[in-house]
Amino acid sequence: MVIELLNYQTSMLNPILKLLAPLLYVIALILFFKASKAYGGEFKKGLNFLMISLILGIAAFTFGFLGDIITLDFKWGESLFFLAFAIMNLFVAAKFLKYVEEVNEDVRF
């Protein structure tokens, strides 16, 4: 039973998880978009980088899903967009680190 549930080829978990992950990315994208309308400055720039990162993640999942269903020729896109996703997350981390440092400077007496 457990082996069948975790089998990549036959388990229903595989397509469910492949659809759930990009759906969660879309929901996060909507939430970040709403937050970016409410804030400005460095925080907004960080949110914009997060939104770009999520779009790259959605593109990677799309190429991966198409590669599994249509043809393996789409797998290059999955790797490329996941690499861009990872690089964008480095920009996000740097932007939020800068924001936190600025906030800490303002709070110090």
- Number of continuous H segments (helices) and E segments (strands) in the chain: 4, 0
The 10s digit of each residue's pLDDT in 43-82 is: 788 888 889 999 999 998 888 888 777 776 777 888 899 9
Q: Are 93 and 99 in contact (CB under 8 A)?
A: no
Q: Are 32 and 46 in contact (CB under 8 A)?
A: no
Q: Report the distance separating Cα 5 and Cα 12, nearest Å.
A: 7
pLDDT for 15 beyond 80: no
Domain boundaries, the chain: 2-107
Question: Which residue is listed with tokens 């939104």?
Answer: 51
| 14 compared with 33, residue with greater pLDDT | 33
What angle, 0 to 180 degrees and rounded to 10, lies between the N-to-C axes of helices 41-69 and 13-38?
160
